[in-house]
Amino acid sequence: MASSIRVRAVENNGVTSLKALVRHPMDSGFVKDSAGNVIPAHFIKVLTISHNGKNVFVANWGPAVSKDPFLECRFKGAKKGDELTISWIDNEGASDSTTATIA
Amino acid sequence: MLGVSVAGFALGSGIVPLRVEAATAPDASDWPEKAFKTPGVDETIAELYGMEATESDQITMDLPTIAQNGAVVPVSVETSLPNVTGIALLVAKNPNALAAYFDIPEGTLPFVSNRLKMAETTDVVAVVISDGKAYKATQNVKVTVGGCGG
């Protein structure tokens, strides 16, 4: 299966700018389906971005983050060609992880 | 309970669980369950950080003043405050105010861009932890179609 995570990271003047898009329903638990049944909450709780084994960014998300969440962040200390690891885990314990090379 | 039943199933059927959760999966045990289930901005900030936030004009928020679709409201936050360790995004009138909060380790710039759901027209509050103190900025967003359904 293709990864649920799409990442683009670009280094410029010592600052790496990262954009990530994750495919996930992010159900809030407040929405009903067409039959009137509540769709249970299903959302990513934690997404981490790490470089050389160290977290450079940690997002703690609740169900109010939009479907197919988007994240942009910036950090120093990485250079072109370095590898980043992006991982998430949701409230049902499912998880995914991918790596990206800084351009 | 779940863990016990899963282990029992694996033993009973002789199946070894193929994936004992990849080592790269983040740890969600620190996820602040209570803060994410608290209505109201001030109550949530108190629950999350144990203090009150003071207004700051050094926090820049970039978000639409009118959102046509409350399901996807892009919000960016940037600050010139020093030694930032965390940024939180709250939506005042959502069922639970806290939408997201971010750990900013040393070397990471105090900037984040994210997309949030908004139930109705209300204030979006950005809370920044700088030098161990909490600061906040607020911007109202008019929502024409709510994002939480129902």
Q: pLDDT tens across B8-47, in order? A: 444 444 444 444 444 568 888 888 889 999 999 999 999 9
- Domain topology for A5-101: Immunoglobulin-like (2.60.40)
Q: Which helix (H) or strand (E) holds B61?
A: strand B59-62
Q: Chain A residue closest to B76 (CA)?
A: A72
Q: What is the ipTM of this complex?
A: 0.90
Residues of A in contact with B114 (CB under 8 A): 59, 65, 69-72
- Residue B41 phi, psi dihedral angles, 5° rounding: -70, -55
Q: Test A32 with B111 for CB contact under 8 angstroms.
A: no
* Chain B CB contacts of A31 below 8 Å: 148-150
The one-digit pLDDT tens for each residue of chain A (103 residues) are 578 999 999 999 999 999 999 999 999 888 888 888 888 999 999 999 999 989 999 999 999 999 999 999 999 999 999 999 999 999 999 999 999 999 9
Please answer whether residues A27 and A33 qualify as being in contact, where contact means their C-beta atoms are separated by less than 8 angstroms.
Answer: no
**Would you place residue B117 in the very low, low, confident or very high pLDDT band (cuts 50, 70, 90)?**
very high
| Structure tokens that stand for B121 in this block | 């027209």
Give the closest of A58, A60, A66 to B71, CB-based: A66
Chain B CB within 8 Å of residue A35 CB: no
**Structure tokens that stand for B54 in this block:** 């003071």
* pLDDT one-digit tens code per residue, B118-149: 989 999 999 999 999 999 999 999 998 766 55
Domains for chain B: give ranges and CATH numbers.
39-143 (2.60.40.2470)
Chain B: residue nearest A30 by CA? B148
- Measured CA to CA, the distance from residue B149 to residue B131 in angstroms comes to 39
Tell me how far apart the alpha carbons of residues B133 and B129 are, in angstroms, rounded to a whole number. Answer: 5
Whether B95 contacts chain A with CB within 8 A: yes
* SS (HEC) of chain A: CCCCEEEEEEEECCEEEEEEEECCCCECCCCECCCCCECCCECEEEEEEEECCEEEEEEEECCCECCCCEEEEEEECCCCCCEEEEEEEECCCCEEEEEEECC
Q: Is A19 left (phi over 0), alpha (psi -120 to 50) or beta?
A: beta
